[in-house]
Structure 1
Amino acid sequence: MERYSKTAMLLHWLVAILIIAAFFLGLTMVDIKGFSPTKLKYYSWHKWMGVTVLLLAAVRILWRKANVPPPHPAGMPQWQVMAADTMHYALYFFMFAVPVSGYLYTTAANVPVVYLGLWQIPALFEGTPELKELFKPIHYWLNMAMAAAVLAHAGAALKHHFIDRDDVLKRMLPALRK
């Protein structure tokens, strides 16, 4: 069985954990009424996770260009190969589009993004209520689409493991040996 490199696995699982955490933190923080210290702290953490996902996604693309991933299993139907490749492109798109849309929404709201409380990311434009109202649903719906893609990706991996009984999932699990 050909496996992904340890670096590819590390990047995959770090990004996956951050995406899931940022998603649920985002749902939690918007339900908190008013502007409490807890809500503001959650917003900061959510932004930090988003920036980190964006940075790690860039590293993942560079790593993938330099390190060819293992081929699809022999005998995998062509439609599944195409679906898997399309899903991977979609997930990479979301890894960039969701954080960028969050940044645009935050900028439109005239709120700075200060990564890890240390580095302020420059605003590309001056915010306005109209732009805020434009970017808010874009960020929300990109998140919902990403959540659906993540669930489909995980579901496909589990289908390969439990139904097809092939090595698709095992190739990305760091705890398993050859």
Structure 2
Amino acid sequence: MKPSLKVVIVAFVAALASPFTFAATPESSATAFPQHAAASPLLGSWSLDTSRMRMPPEQRPKSVIFTFGHASDTKWTTRVDIVYAPGNEVHSSGTAALDGTPSAVKNSPEADTGAVKLPAPGVLVMALLKKGVLVSTRIYAVLPGDQSMVETAVYPGKEGVPVMKTNYFTRVR
């Protein structure tokens, strides 16, 4: 028997949360959060390795650059610059509090609202919505050495079955 979508999503969220529960201490309160964010190895620009994408080479984007920037003690900017296979470009951006508060996403074909949390210095969890509907959840994790980043993207698939994709990035700066 197939598990229901609700069971799958609850199990997924529990699996994501469990590695971070042990890290919750009195020092990880909101007052310590800005130092945590300022020290993140995620800050900077990252280039997608399009050769590892699971799609025909002629359909892959020519380039994708993610830039995570420090907007204030409690907010980050995210900029995504994409050059698609035919040559058209999209430049999306947003500034969000790192506490999961929804914020506007500008110029994105995928989302108009986002929310982000930083559960550990090298891990960012992002939820993207379009017209009030969750379209994807993404987890960005910097690998040891701080020069590579992995994105795990979860989308709703056919018949309510979640689809997970992994993308690989290299630090540009």
Would you say same fold, with TM above 0.5? no
Greater share of residues in strand: 2
Greater share of residues in helix: 1
When normalised by structure 1's length, the TM-score is: 0.28
State the structure with bigger RCO (CA 8 A, min sep 6), 1 or 2. 1
